Amino acid sequence: MKFCEHLKSGRAALVAAASILLVLLVWALFRQTGDFEFLRLDDHDYTYRCEFVKDGLSWENVREAFTNVRHGGIWMPATYISYMCDITLFGSGAGAHHLVNVGIHALNAVLLLWLLVSLAAKNAKVAKIILFLLAAFWALHPQRAEAVAWIASRKELLCATFILGGLLCWLRARRREGWGWIPALVGTYACFILACMSKPTAMCFPFLVLAVERIRHSTADSRQPDDIRHSTAGNHHFTFYTLHFTLFLLLAAATGALAVYSQTHPEGHAVRELFSASLPWRLLNAAVAVGLYVFQMFIPAGIHLDYRAVPGGWPVQGLLGLGVLAVLVAGAWWWMRRRIRRRAEQDRASDCAGLFCMGAVILWFFAALAPTLGIFGSFGEHARADRFLYLPAMALPIAGVLLYGARGARALPVRSPRRGGPTTGTTGILPVVGLVVVVAVFFAVAYPVVASYRTDMTAFTRTLAVDPDNWRALAHVGETKCAAGELDEGIDMLRRSRAVLARDATDGKLAYALMRRGRAEDWGEITNVCAAVAADSSRDVRGQALEALGTAELVGRDWHSAALHLLLSIQAPGRHYSSADAILKLAFAQHNGGRRAEARKLFEWVRDSSGREDLAKRAREVLSVLEYSPRGMLFW
């Protein structure tokens, strides 16, 4: 329907007011993120430590964003450019990144509202307040916390923005009124391409178009008489639709191929296998993930950052949610089939259209979710995250629109403005009150979930409260406690993390913490933890394990091995902290190993250029000793 027609009927004003109120509600929930910090989980790789992002917007950085398809194992130039714009306009602080996320999420909520209005335009039974409440239910759901409050989830937000914009443009282009359909069609392709450049999961766009087309066709035509439906069937331009759907599929296939290459050839790492687990395991993991998604969509309990699949065990909620989903789908199918058989012949077409609409909603959910379930890629190890549900969860408000329109509004009759005219239904009070209560409850539940993303410590502490065996949360909280001087507690948590799942990064953190504590029994444990590093010193463990191993060998007077591992620690490609300590230890190892001239240069560098007074003082003491006994043994 044209804007002027909306304006004449007063619908445009209602939609505008609902949009403004929706933005205010989103701001009320997520404005707290303006004071949040960066999370060390991916935020640094995308922003302040990314070489082509941290300096802001420039032609060189934009070119690198487009040409570097391997950074982080994902090609998303539009997302990187948005980070560059944030840094150029607002500086490098985390608050601006968070608030931009909030703004994009508010825009997505409004676009979803407009999409619901468009899908329900032919159904007078669906009131605008119902559409507003359904959009608010999605926007304020606790499952949206991760996508909005985590800076690294910007890709999900932008991808959804362009997909929703593309669908709205497609609906406008399909009407083919005047010449306006041409720029609308161009806008569809532009939005699809931008969505693919925001996150490769936008390859689901053709199937979302198919779902929307089915819903729109059913709601528009199923209520018309048979002769009118047959006369308008030719106006759907089958050739037009088939041509563009084919082009969409080709673009999606190209995006998928690029995503596979980026995923298997991440920058700075060895080539990875596309399938990291067997097909039966991936299918089971995906099924449980879907069950957990469905469970928490209706019962938002246990929501936290970074769900991990614990080897050998599966959450009961996942199986329960999967069973609920199966029962709902089977029950809805049985009810529709039974209804169709009992209906009169002239009403069966409407019921069949409802059945097709239900299938379209299911198609939306699974098509948008499929790229992140781990079946087709290397995410089978942990194929679940609330941010992955950002776009698929829109299927629920769409289903709400269809179900409410199908059941009809139960309310007191209102006389038509024309004298003696027929009565029209108004919005049923019970659905409205029920949705208001649900939205209010979910808002209250979501507020502390959003607040938990304030820092690494708060985010992963909440994770451990729900999942005590989450190895990544144990590693992050343990490392944070070690940095705060709580070495004993931090080391225990790192050991627990390593016991659940041994990883290079955890080994490095544990070895480094043991080195800092420096007890006599710790040096042997460091050697055991770093046994793989000793066998293959080229492995990238961010320099931590290598420095700890070199220090343990320095204490054990294995000068040659200590010098080798300390040098590799300093040169480690992932090292992002000061190397002054390692350089001083390397100087001791080289001096005692017979390379005294090189050691003297290193001592002089520590004295003059390290920027650490404690290390400079130690270097001055050593150099004064070398003046009297240049060949004597030095002990670190």
CATH number at residue 500: 1.25.40.10
Asked whether residue 472 falls in the same domain as residue 433, the answer is: no
Residue 520 lies in a domain: yes
Alpha-carbon distance of 19 to 99, in angstroms, equals 19
pLDDT at 232: 43
- Of 81-85, 204-208, 567-571, the poorest mean pLDDT is in 567-571
Domain count, the chain: 3
Q: Are residues 167 and 280 in the same domain?
A: yes
The burial of 230, by beta-carbon neighbours within 10 Å (0-12 exposed, 13-18 middle, 19 or more buried), is given as exposed
Same domain, 520 and 591: no
Res 413 pLDDT > 50: no
Residue 226 has pLDDT above 90, yes or no: no
My answer on whether 428 and 540 are in the same domain is no
Token pair belonging to 101: 């996320």
The amino acid sitting at 93 is G
Same domain, 361 and 334: yes
**Looking at the structure, do residues 363 and 283 belong to the same domain, yes or no?**
yes
Residue 280 is encoded by which pair of tokens? 């039966």
3-state secondary structure of 415: strand
Residue 529 pLDDT > 50? yes
CA distance 497 to 472: 7
Q: How far apart are CA 239 and CA 242, in angstroms?
A: 5
Q: Are residues 252 and 401 in the same domain?
A: yes
Report the C-alpha gap between 311 and 461 in whole angstroms: 21
* Neighbour-count burial of 365, counting CB atoms closer than 10 A to its CB (0-12 exposed, 13-18 middle, 19+ buried): buried
Domain-embedded: residue 56: no
User: Are residues 120 and 166 part of one domain?
Assistant: yes
Comparing 169-183, 227-241, 548-562, which segment has the lowest mean pLDDT?
A: 227-241
Domain edge (last residue) among 530, 546, 577:
577
Greater confidence (462 vs 564) lies with 462
Structural domain includes residue 419:
no
55 domain-assigned: no
Q: Does 495 reside within a domain?
A: yes
Same domain, 284 and 203: yes
Q: What is the pTM of this model?
A: 0.84
Q: Is residue 544 part of a domain?
A: yes
Mean pLDDT across 589-604: 86
Give which of 473, 560, 483 is closest to 516, Cα–Cα. 483
Residue 75 has pLDDT above 60, yes or no: yes
Same structural domain for residues 561 and 634? no
570 falls within a domain: yes
Q: 295 and 214: one domain?
A: yes
pLDDT score for 549: 85
The pLDDT value recorded for residue 61 is 93
The pLDDT mean for the chain works out to 81
Boundary (domain end) residue, out of 577, 598, 620: 577
Q: pLDDT band at 414, cuts 50/70/90?
A: very low
Question: Domain boundary at 536, 559, 577, which?
Answer: 577
- The mean pLDDT of 499-522, rounded to a whole number, is 85
Residue type, 31: R
pLDDT classification of 421: cutoffs 50, 70, 90 = very low
Residue range(s) defining the domain that contains residue 592: 587-636
591 with 573, same domain: the answer is: no
72: left (phi over 0), alpha (psi -120 to 50) or beta: left
- For range 34-49, the mean pLDDT: 89
Domain assignment present for residue 525? The answer is yes
Q: What is the structure's pLDDT at 593?
A: 85
